[in-house]
Each structure stands twice: as C-alpha cells, then as structure tokens.
Amino acid sequence: MESYENFEEKVKKISNIQQAAAVLGWDQEVMMPEEGIKPRSQQKSALTSVTHGLMTDKKLGELIEQLEDEDLSEEQRANIREVKREKKKAVKVPEDLLKKISETESEAVDAWKKSREQDDFQKFAPHLEKMVELKREYAGHIDPDEEPYKVLFKDFEPFIRFETMEEILQTLKDRLTEITEKIKESDSSLEKGAFKGQFSEEKQKKLNRELVEALNFDFSRGRLDVSTHPFTSGNRYDTRITTRYNEQDLSKSILPTVHETGHGLYNQGLPEESFGVPAGSSRDLSVHESQSRLWENHVARSKPFMKFLLPKLREKFPEQFEEVTADECYESVNQVYEDNPIRVEADELTYHLHIVVRFELGKELVNGDIAVEELPEKWNDKMEQYLGFRPENDAEGCLQDIHWGWGNFGYFPTYTVGSVLAAQIFEAASQDIDSLDQKIEEGEFDPLLEWLRENIHSKGKVLKTEDLIKEATGRKPTPEPFISYIEEKYSDLYSL
Amino acid sequence: MESYENFEEKVKKISNIQQAAAVLGWDQEVMMPEEGIKPRSQQKSALTSVTHGLMTDKKLGELIEQLEDEDLSEEQRANIREVKREKKKAVKVPEDLLKKISETESEAVDAWKKSREQDDFQKFAPHLEKMVELKREYAGHIDPDEEPYKVLFKDFEPFIRFETMEEILQTLKDRLTEITEKIKESDSSLEKGAFKGQFSEEKQKKLNRELVEALNFDFSRGRLDVSTHPFTSGNRYDTRITTRYNEQDLSKSILPTVHETGHGLYNQGLPEESFGVPAGSSRDLSVHESQSRLWENHVARSKPFMKFLLPKLREKFPEQFEEVTADECYESVNQVYEDNPIRVEADELTYHLHIVVRFELGKELVNGDIAVEELPEKWNDKMEQYLGFRPENDAEGCLQDIHWGWGNFGYFPTYTVGSVLAAQIFEAASQDIDSLDQKIEEGEFDPLLEWLRENIHSKGKVLKTEDLIKEATGRKPTPEPFISYIEEKYSDLYSL
C-alpha cells in the first residue's frame, strides 16, 4: 500500500498548512494588534497559494487515479472521494480568480463597514456587484451547465441535495409564518428580563468557563477567549472557542458560549486515528451547525437546563437571581421579539424567516434574476411579507450581514439546515438516552455527549452527509422533528 | 527590472511563510493548550518543508544569477547577497538531515527536561551525542574543509568574523576574571533587597505595561504577554514580547521586560519600505542582542533609570518603596552574586565567564576534541578555573541550558558579542546625544530610540554586521567600550 501512504502523506501536508492558516485566523480575531493586519493578509494569502499548489499537484492526481482501482477500506475510499472532489475544484478554478475574489473580499469588507455605519447602501453596492460577478464566474468554472447558486451551495454542502435544502426552507417558511402570526395575535406576555441587570465581565468569565467545563469541553485541548463575533476554530488537539460579554445582559454571553461549545465538542470528538485526513475531519457546515444549535437550543434554552443553571447564577450573582425562577429564565431566553429586524438577535422561530429572505435574494442575485441596485427594496418587501414589518433603514436591513461581502453565497441556508438537523439528532438521542431531561437538569451532560461522539463526531467525513444523518437518526434529513419541537415549545410558551 | 521584481516576489513569499511559522511559535509558548503540541510540530515541519522547497527552487537561483550582472541599488544588491547565502546553504544541506535534526531536537528537549529534573546526565547524554554528530554532519555539508564549530558560528553570524568573536571572548575572559577576583576580595557589601517583597502579579502587569509604553514600544504594532521564558518574535507591524512575574522579586519582571522591549523596538524600527526582504529584516543574533542588552544594561540597570523608576514603584507599591532610595535600587540590580552557578541569574560581569565556559566546551564537543561523556567533569573544571567554584550538581552545571539540545552550537557567543556591541553603541549614542543620563532620569527615551532607529534599526540587513557597527560607532566591533563600562561601573559599586 505504498501509494496509499504517499497519498496520505500529501494530504496531511495540505491539512497541516490549512491548520496553520487556522491558527493565523484565530490569532487575527483574538490576539493580533491592529497594525498586524497588513502582513497577516499576505501571510494567509501565501499559505493559500501553497495549498492550492499542493492540491493541484499532478502527482497527487496520479496517486488518486491509481488508488481508485485498488481494494481499500471504507475509510480509505472516503478519504480519496473527499480529496478528489476538492482537487477537482482546485484544478478547475484559476488561481488568479481566487486571488481576485480574496482582494475583492478585503475591499468589500471595508466598504461594508462604512456603508452600514453611514446607512448608505451605495457605498457597498459596487463591491457587492463585483463580488456577485466573480462568484458567478467561479461557479461557471466548476460547472458551466448548472445554476450558479446551486454550484455555490454545493461548494459548502457537497452531500446535501439542493432539493433537500429547498424543501426544508419551504416547509419552515410556510409553517413558521403561521406560528409567528398566532403568537402576534396571542395575549400571552412572557417574562423578558431575567438575565438583565449588571454583571461584571470578570464574574461572567468565571461563570462561562465553569459552564464550558460542565459541558465536558476539554481545556487541555482547547481555549475559551473573547472576540467581537463568537466563533470556533482548530482541530481535535487544539480547539478554540470565543464568546463576548455584555455587562447588562448575561444571556448574551451564556447562549453564544454554549453554541460555540457545541462546535468545539464536535472538533474534540473527531477520531484521533484519522487526524489530518478527511475521515478525521468534521462534516460540512450544516452538520457543524447542528452540533452548536443542539447544545444551544435543545440544551441551553430548555427548562431542565435553566434548573441546572439557576443555582450557579445565584452563586455568582446572588442579588440579581435571588427572586428569579427557572421558568422566568426559560421565558426570557425564548420570547419571540416582535418586529426585530436583526437576524442574530432573533429567536429560534423567526430566525429561519430571516434566513429565507437571504436564501431567496442571494439566489436571485447570483442567478442574475435581480440587480444589486434592487436589493434594498426587495429585502424590505420580503421582510414585510414573511415577518410582517419593514426595517427602518438599510443598516437594519440588507446591510446587516457581511456574508455576501465575503462572497459566501449559498452559506445562509446551512444555518437553517443545521437547526433542522439539530432537532432531528436531538430527537433520536432523546429516544436512546433514558430520561435525558432529568440528566440535563442534574448537569449530567456526558450521556448526550457520548451519544453524539458515537453517532456523529467519530464518523468524521467517512459517510456522506445525508447518509450520516440517516445512520444516526433512522431518517434522511427532514424538517419534521424541528417543526414538532417548535410547535410544542411555542404552543406551551404562548398558550396557543 | 522585471526579473528583480520576480525575485522579490519569490523572496516575499518565503518571508510570509516564515512569519506565519513565527506566529505559530509564539502561540505555542503563550497560548496553546498542552495537547496542541502534536499537530503544532507537524504544522511547523510542513511550513519548514515548504520554505525549503521555495528556497531551493531552481528559478530563484536563475533569477539571482541573472541579477548579479545587472545594475542594482545598494539595497537590491544586499537583498540578493543575503538570499543567495541562505539559498546556498539550503541547497547544500539535504532536507532529510534537517528533518533528522528537528526530530532529534524534540527528543532531546524531552530528555533534557527529565535529565535536569532528576539531575541525571546519562538521560540526556545519548541525545546530545546524536545532536553533536548531526550538527557536525550539517557543518560538513556546508563547508567540509572548515572546522565544524566555525561553520556553525557562521550559520548564526555570517558577517562577524570568527576571529573578532574569539578576540572579544578572550579579552573578556582575561579582564573579567581579574575584576571578579577583586570584587571577591573587597569588603564592600551592596544592598540586595530593594526589589524583594510581595508584589501581586496584577499590579506588576500594570507597571510593566507602563514601562514598555514609556520606552516607546508601539502597542498598536505589538503585544506584551507572559511565558515561561521571556522572548520576542514577530515583525515591524506585529512584534510580540513576553515576560514573567515573580511575586517575591519585582526586578525579575522589570529587567526581562526591558530586555525584550529592546528586541521589540528593533523589530518595530525596521524600514517599512523593505518589508519582507532582507533590507527590511533585522541583522543577526548579536546585533539583535545588542539592542536588548543596551536597554536592559545601559538604560534599566543605570542610576538615572532608577531615579526615573522609583516614583513609579512608589505609586504602585507605596509600602514597599517608601523608604527605599534610588541608590539602593541601583545596588540591588547590580550586585555580583558570588558563587552563582546559573547563567541566566548572573550579573553583567560574571555572565560572560559563563558564556566562555560554553563557548570553549561547545567548540571542543563539535570539533571532536572532547566526548559527551566528559562534559560534566570538564564543565565543573572550567567553572572552577574561571569563576572560582564548582557547581554542586549537573542540574546546576552542564544541564542548565537547553541550547545544545536544540542543536544550537555556536549560539552562546552571540550573547557576549551582543553585550559588547551594546556598550560600543551606547557609548557612540552618548557622545551624540546631549546629557543622555539626564534624559533617561526624566523618562525622555525618544532621543536614544531615534538614534538607534537612524543608525541601526533602519539599516535592516543592507550593511554587513561589522560595517554596520563601524558606520554607527566609527569603529569595527571592539571589546574596549564594554571593558571600560564594566571597570567604571564595578569600581564605583565596590569601591575597588
């Protein structure tokens, strides 16, 4: 098996350089002094160029061809399948175009910041236009016969069919608009302020660290730090999560922290023996997001979790939580915040209507069905149609997210698919684990983690996404468990 | 000048990858969780292999050959000279040998830790033997006709003649043993405890940050953190220094902090327009060390600095410093600690006798004049001969430093050459700057920094080392200013 070993060696080298780039990315967000950005961009672009060179190396291609005729294990075949797919893309897309996209991204991010600050869409528009064109060109290189948006979605999610994703979004759009309307019409009013008050960053840091430890995140293989936007990066030996602190609202650190812990636990649970090859790497965005949302939504936003959490809150902040009940905590993190224009502040329900707006408009932009100029108007129309109100300005409208400035068309749907998979996975885990609710209430999180390790984390990229979900839950990806979960939760909360 | 531009582009790519590796190195010492070491070693080795590949690239060699016939600026010629030299080495030394050295280094470092902890030289000996052999082989590839130790010194210091270094060490050995003996015989007893007491890490952190700011280190282009062994890394846009805190001794953070600030100011002062090529990079180890020692020894260990520092100490630690005088502070950081076996705890005077021991033994080891087995005995003999006492055990003897375990033979002399250059440079700066002592007392450090920027930092690698020193000070490297400085300082301190 010399040729397989040669193949793995080449793949591991690429992986090592990508990991190095990830350390640079983490450092940039968490540690780097402001003026460090100039060389940092150059360093990252040098590493990208090196990995592109290694990925398009002819010898690697020859090894893959040779190995396809050999008798290999399931894992080995998966490694070849995944690398072959990435390689195919790398060969098709000219390095020059990648460079242009990366340069346009930097300019677009700068322009976007100003544009949003000044609520002036015209400052961002030309950069967005350029990005739309470049990404259309990119998609054309990969598959000139396919709708560009489909190609870009596949770029993020190679093994979730476009139709599966579309069906999920369509179902959620129909069902969630219904529930949202019912809530608007209901007379129930939920507790909103259980987590509001004055909470020093120092004490919050201790609380969050304790929480992350309680969830079995391994600090000998990871870190918890602060950044403007929470994120997770790293590998099974060194996974780094970040959060942020708001001294007036404690839930604004706890929920993102648990979310990122979910991502972190996935990384830490990847199989050691396949480190550095696809079989030891996490499946794509939707599955990663399923892990973060499972811990954030199904664990941390649940009643049992609030019963587990409250004594800890009282210990750290006795004055603020003396009189607060677990039910009030539960209501506070689950209220539907009406007429909220901002995606990242949305509840579990309306969140997906925000995503539908982005999915539909992103698709129309990239497929050439609408012009960038039309975006602000179309955005507000859709908000009105699905959420029942128009944003007051573009800063709170189509300028709120940076993803398109990054060129990430086809990315937003993975947030919703991730939530849907989280519900499906959590439902299956609940069936396998005795009295999971009670275990959560008692802070006994390892049975759930063990279940996820066995059914999701340890599988790496060996299975294709839809097969992974089917093996873990008995069904292909389906929005049903999510819809049931939401209907039950919100009917109860709002006495619908 | 298309070929010159191509040349620069290739060199900058190599530099970018080396900078990325430096970020990984900093992170490893300051941020990385313990289990992160496994992938980190692999990441670093992948980057080393990439830079080796780029450095030995034939096209780069052809460009250099082509450019040597062209009419270029002084700076351009310097860039070619420096890259050509590094390239020559890279081509001569097989990548396989570099890999072996790097693997042996990892094993040797592990063995050295245990060996020192258990005071058992035999645990380290076989690894040291292997390393000596490999480095001899390495030297043989670069120049088979030269003494291996000379080749290894040149590896660190291409433009300080071996004879210059030897003469410096010989002079210091002769003159410093004399002064040390006089001090031992003198009746003077110096204040030792001005910086001893109880100092919380938190307050020390604030004090050190203020000091680093006072010395004009630019925090928009750098950081100050904590690590086991203080060090500096990074580039002109992102220079990171570290220090450590001892809650019982304040001088144990202040002096290393100023030392590293000296390194940091050098990095930050490198010329912007030549970023990423040798003309924008720091000269080698000795010159870098001259900058750290200048700020540590000639500034921070001086009487004027103590007058500047004392009010700050009183502000942060009023109880401890209420009754302490600047003279007592001065004595405390300059006392000669008799019969001290440890290099890193030595004063400015005996420090260099510790280095002479390492220079002589390192040379004998690598040149095959003594066997690794003989090292403990020979070490103690030399300590007795030059410093007047025998270490009590090997942990405090030949096992105290890790440098040889790293394979860094030829490195130790650069510490002494750095101190000597510091004295020579400070003498020249003192002649050019009006009442420098008074300026230091008043915390006015920018005239000195400006002088260093103009005469050292801004030159990058354009001049060869001995020429750089000659242009800055009017003389080639010479131990005289250092000897005068030491004689004057210690005669005064000990009333010799």
> For an interface test with B, which of A212, A227, A237 has the most B Cβ atoms less than 10 Å from its Cβ?
A237
The confidence score (pLDDT) of residue B90 equals 96
Q: How far is A197 from chain B (nearest CA, A)?
A: 27
Same domain, A281 and A152: yes
For residue B338, is it within any domain? Answer: yes
CB contacts, 8 Å: A16 with chain B: 39, 42-43, 45-47
Query: And the tokens for B39?
Result: 């992938």
What confidence score (pLDDT) does residue B137 get? 98
Quote the percentage of chain A above a pLDDT of 70: 100
Cβ within 8 Å, pair A50-B17: yes
- Chain A contact probe: residue of B35, B44, B218, B281 with most A CBs at under 10 A: B35
> Which candidate from A13, A39, A222 shows the least CB-CB separation from B33?
A222
Last residue within a domain, chosen from A59, A77, A92: A92
* A380/A298 same-domain check: yes
Do A220 and B49 count as a contact with CB atoms less than 8 A apart? no
How confident is the model over A350-373, as pLDDT tens digits? 999 999 999 999 999 999 999 999
For B35, the closest of A31, A44, A220 (CB atoms) is: A220
The pLDDT of residue B326 is 98
B240: domain CATH number is: 1.10.1370.30
Asked, for residue B129, whether it belongs to a domain, the answer is no
Tell whether B178 and B72 lie within a shared domain. no
Sheet holding B232-235, edge to edge: B222-226, B238-243, B232-235
Residues of chain A neighbouring B24 (CB-CB closer than 8 A): 20, 23
Instruction: Mark yes or no for CB contact B39/A223 under 8 Å.
Output: no
B53 touches chain A (CB under 8 A): no
Q: How far apart are CA B79 and CA B267, in angstroms?
A: 18
Confidence of residue A407 (pLDDT cuts 50, 70, 90): very high
Task: Evaluate whether residue A111 is within a structural domain.
Answer: no
**What letter represents residue B401's amino acid?**
D
Residue A260: active-site member: yes
Flag whether B99 is in a domain. Answer: no
Cα distance from A15 to chain B (closest Cα, Å)?
A: 8
C-alpha triplet B137, B143, B146: angle, nearest 5°: 95
Residues of chain B contacting A39 with CB distance shorter than 8 Å:
16, 19, 235, 237-238, 275-276
Q: Are residues B38 and B170 in the same domain?
A: no
**Residue of B12, B43, B44 for testing the chain A interface, max A β-carbons within 10 Å:** B43
Q: How far apart are CA A304 and CA B369, in angstroms?
A: 73
pLDDT of residue B338: 86
Q: Which of A17, A38, A223 sits opposite B46 (nearest CB)?
A: A17
**Dihedral pair phi/psi, residue B241, rounded to 5°:** -110, 150
Q: What is the 3-state secondary structure (H, E, C) of chain A?
A: CHHHHHHHHHHHHHHHHHHHHHHHHHHHHHCCCHHHHHHHHHHHHHHHHHHHHHHCCHHHHHHHHHHCCCCCCHHHHHHHHHHHHHHHHHHHCCHHHHHHHHHHHHHHHHHHHHHHHCCCHHHHHHHHHHHHHHHHHHHHHHCCCCCHHHHHHHHHCCCCCHHHHHHHHHHHHHHHHHHHHHHHHCCCCCCCCCCECCCCHHHHHHHHHHHHHHCCCCHHHEEEEECCCCCEEEECCEEEEEECCCCCECHHHHHHHHHHHHHHHHHHCCCHHHCCCHHHCCCCHHHHHHHHHHHHHHHHCCHHHHHHHHHHHHHHCHHHHCCCCHHHHHHHCCCCCCCCCCHHHCCCCCHHHHHHHHHHHHHHHHCCCCCHHHHHHHHHHHHHHHHCCCCCCCCCCCCCCCCCCCCCCCCHHHHHHHHHHHHHHHHHHHHHCCCHHHHHHCCCCHHHHHHHHHHCHHHCCCCCHHHHHHHHHCCCCCCHHHHHHHHHHHHHHHCC
User: Chain B within 8 Å of A53 (Cβ-Cβ)?
Assistant: no
> Does residue A338 carry a pLDDT above 90?
no
Catalytic residue among B260, B289, B296, B441: B260
Domain boundary among B47, B68, B92: B92
The answer to whether the Cβ–Cβ distance between A27 and B27 falls below 8 Å is: yes
Say if residue A369 is in the same domain as residue A228: yes
Cβ burial, residue B408 (10 Å; 0-12/13-18/19+): buried
Residue A81 sits in the same domain as residue A197: no
**Residue A33 sits at the chain B interface (C-beta within 8 Å):** yes
* Structural contact between residues B332 and B195, judged by C-beta atoms closer than 8 angstroms: yes
- CB–CB of B223 and A31 under 8 A? yes
3-state DSSP of B10-25: HHHHHHHHHHHHHHHH
Residue A225 has pLDDT above 80, yes or no: yes
Domain identity same for A341 and A435: yes
Query: Are the Cβ atoms of A45 and B16 closer than 8 angstroms?
Result: yes
Average pLDDT, chain A: 97
ipTM: 0.94
The single residue listed with the structure tokens 């009013």 is A189
Closest listed residue to residue A293, CA positions, set A355, A201, A245, A341: A355
Domain assignment of residue A86, given as a range = 1-92
pLDDT grade, residue A24 (50/70/90)? very high
The answer to whether residue A219 sits within a structural domain is yes
| Tokens, residue B450 | 């400006």
Average pLDDT value for residue range A433-438: 98
Nearest CB neighbour to A219, from listed B31, B33, B237: B33
Contact between B31 and A223 using a beta-carbon 8 Å cutoff: yes
Provide the 10 A C-beta neighbour count for residue A43.
Answer: 26
Please indicate if any CB of chain A lies within 8 Å of the CB of B226: no
A287 lies in the same domain as A193: yes
Q: How many CB atoms lie within 10 A of CB A362?
A: 22
**Which chain B residue is nearest to residue A21, measuring alpha carbons?**
B20
| B127 part of a folded domain | no
Residue B138 domain-assigned?
Answer: no
Same domain, B192 and B327: yes
Of B69, B92, B115, at which residue does a domain stop?
Answer: B92
pLDDT at A50: 96
Residue B467 lies in a domain: yes
A468: closest CA among A286, A232, A265?
A286
Across the range A228-251, mean pLDDT stands at 97
Name the residue type at position A147. E
CA distance linking residue B189 with residue B186, whole number of Å = 8
Strand order in the sheet with A238-243: A222-226, A238-243, A232-235
For residues A167-194, average pLDDT: 95
Do A48 and A191 belong to one domain?
Answer: no
* pLDDT by 10s per residue, chain B, length 496: 789 999 999 999 999 999 999 999 999 999 999 999 989 989 999 999 999 999 999 999 999 999 999 999 999 999 999 999 999 999 999 999 998 999 899 899 989 999 999 999 999 999 999 999 999 999 999 999 999 999 999 999 999 999 999 999 999 999 999 999 999 999 998 999 999 999 999 999 999 999 999 999 999 999 999 999 999 999 999 999 999 999 999 999 999 999 999 999 999 999 999 999 999 999 999 999 999 999 999 999 999 999 999 999 999 999 999 999 999 999 999 999 889 999 999 999 999 999 999 999 999 999 999 999 999 999 999 999 999 999 999 999 999 999 999 999 999 999 999 999 999 999 999 999 999 999 999 999 999 999 999 999 999 999 999 999 999 999 999 999 999 999 999 999 999 9
Read off the tokens for B95: 């990548």
Mutation for testing the A interface, residue in B10, B30, B50 having most A CBs under 10 Å: B50
CB contact under 8 Å between A238 and B24, yes or no, is no
Rounded distance between C-alpha atoms, residue A401 and residue A354, angstroms = 11
Which position has the token pair 């650190």?
A253
Mean pLDDT calculated for residue range A257-285: 98
Quick check: pTM over 0.90? yes
* pLDDT above 90 for A337: no
Catalytic residue of the set A8, A75, A105, A260: A260
Residues A39 and A167 in one domain: no
pLDDT of A382 higher than 90:
yes
For B43, which of A16, A32, A218 is closest by C-beta distance? A16
Position A1 pLDDT exceeds 80: no
A143, A49: one domain: no
Number of domains forming the structure of chain B: 2
If DSSP codes are grouped into helix, strand and coil, which group holds residue B322?
A: coil
User: Is A301 a residue whose pLDDT tops 90?
Assistant: yes
